[in-house]
Amino acid sequence: MEVLALIISIIALIIAISAYFKVGGRSDLRKQTEALTNIGETIVKATDSLRDKTADVLDRMEAAVRGVDEKKEAPKAEKKKETMTGKRGPKTAKKQ
């Protein structure tokens, strides 16, 4: 009886291996892995794009709500940009 069970299990194993290779084997698994990787990369790109668009919309909403505060802060931001780019005035220009 034990020998019969062993023979049946070996036959089942052979059938399973032949079915695995008939379906595609490892190459099929690689193709599926590549397809899933491409889908994941596409989702990441879409998420990044959506995050950027959401941030832009929220910035515009904040500017609309704080319209007066933005006008007060704008000159300060321009002065910071000028010093960061190297535009300091006539004294600096003469030294260079």
Handedness of CA 62, 64, 68, 73 (dihedral sign): positive
Report CA-CA distances (Å) from 64 to 8, 54, 67, 76. Answer: 76, 15, 5, 19
Domain residue limits, the chain:
42-73
Q: What is the pLDDT of residues 34-82, one digit of tens each?
A: 999 999 999 999 999 999 999 999 999 998 898 765 555 555 555 555 5
CA dihedral 11, 15, 20, 24 (to 10 degrees): 140
Distance separating alpha carbons of residues 40 and 51, to the nearest angstrom: 16
Q: Please state the pTM of the whole predicted model.
A: 0.42
